[in-house]
Amino acid sequence: VTPVSVPVNGIYRGRIVRDYSSKAPGTLSLKRGTIVTAEKHYGDWTLVHTNDGQHGWVSRHFIQPVVQV
């Protein structure tokens, strides 16, 4: 995978860059390296879903956008 610049809006694929521990309802705990699809953005938060069906909010600072090659 190749890193790309962060889209301001829109759907993109990304990789979690470090473990993220959920601290609030509606957020996800994710392990470093998890591939997610980013769907919506609100401030510093991004609504994502994973290939295994998890769905919730993650800080955008933990997501590195990627392009599948």
The residue whose two tokens read 């993109």 is 12
Looking at residue 32, its pLDDT comes to 97
- Contact predicate 60/45, CB 8 Å: yes
* Cα 14 to Cα 6, 17, 31, 62, distances in angstroms: 9, 9, 13, 9
**What pLDDT tens digit does each residue of the chain (69 aa) get?**
444 455 555 788 999 999 999 989 999 999 999 999 999 999 999 999 999 999 999 999 999 998 654
pLDDT confidence of residue 8: 52
Q: How far apart are CA 58 and CA 69, in angstroms?
A: 25
Cα 60 from Cα 38, distance rounded (Å)? 9
Structure tokens at 21: 């521990």
